[in-house]
């Protein structure tokens, strides 16, 4: 039996690298989080509001992700002209920054980032697994079936590839405030 003065009795379980943590501490689930994702379009206020209601009901951390598109290859190799320009990067960073500020103003913890990719749905599902998210909230434009087939609707691909629940929020494209020179 160890006494109270014995250093081994007062040592915390995680204070020594050689000791293992107890089973309940290892098996405890991580804090729930939600991924608010966009395939490159600005976030509609209804999509952000829906993410706020979902995150508040579960008191979740919100990750915000937007994709800067890489537009294919040239003869099978990557070509610098097909990568996002500085202006496109800046636009995506502003989109993510606006969404993060809105989420923080509503009292939620949020962080955001932009990733360049040719395949937004694949990146979004991989990042949701990496972050350990419990759901993905994504904006969905209402399109006719033939137009979603031609445009390869990213929301459909996200739902298909994801192993966690995907919450598509429909919005009308006219409600997104315009950006750039035409907005002035």
pLDDT at 1 over 90: no
Instruction: Let me know if residue 158 belongs to a domain.
Output: yes
- Other CB atoms closer than 10 Å to residue 154's CB: what's the count? 23
Predicted local distance difference test score (pLDDT) of residue 181: 53
- Give the pLDDT confidence of 21-53 residue by residue, as tens digits: 334 434 434 458 999 999 888 999 999 999 999
Ranked by mean pLDDT, the top range of 70-84, 125-139, 149-163 is 125-139
Residue 152 in this model has a pLDDT that exceeds 80:
no
Convert the pLDDT of each residue in 45-82 to its tens digit.
999 999 999 998 777 899 999 999 888 766 777 777 78
Domain of 152, CATH number, reads 3.40.50.620
| Residues 48, 108: Cα–Cα separation, whole Å | 12
Range of the domain at 130: 30-69+83-172
Residue 95 domain flag: yes
Average pLDDT over residues 121-126: 94
Tokens standing for 172?
Answer: 């009308």
Tally of structural domains, the chain: 1
Residue 177, pLDDT above cutoff 70? no
Let me know if residue 122 belongs to a domain.
yes
Average pLDDT for the chain: 79
């Amino acid at each position: 039996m160890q006494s109270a003065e014995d250093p081994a009795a007062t040592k915390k379980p995680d204070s020594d690298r050689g000791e293992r943590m107890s089973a309940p501490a290892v098996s405890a689930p991580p804090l729930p989080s939600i991924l608010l994702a966009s395939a490159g379009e600005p976030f509609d206020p209804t999509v952000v509001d829906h993410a706020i209601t979902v995150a508040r009901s579960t008191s979740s951390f919100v990750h915000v992700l937007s994709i800067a598109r890489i537009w294919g290859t040239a003869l099978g190799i990557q070509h610098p002209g097909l990568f996002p320009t500085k202006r496109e990067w800046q636009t995506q960073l502003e989109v993510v920054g606006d969404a993060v500020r809105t989420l923080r103003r509503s009292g939620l913890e949020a962080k955001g980032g932009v990733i360049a990719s040719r395949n937004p749905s694949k990146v979004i599902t991989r990042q949701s697994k990496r972050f350990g998210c419990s759901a993905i909230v994504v904006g969905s434009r209402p399109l006719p079936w033939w137009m979603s087939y031609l445009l390869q609707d990213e929301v459909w691909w996200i739902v298909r590839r994801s192993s966690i629940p995907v919450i598509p929020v429909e919005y009308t494209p006219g409600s997104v405030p315009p950006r750039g020179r035409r907005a002035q």
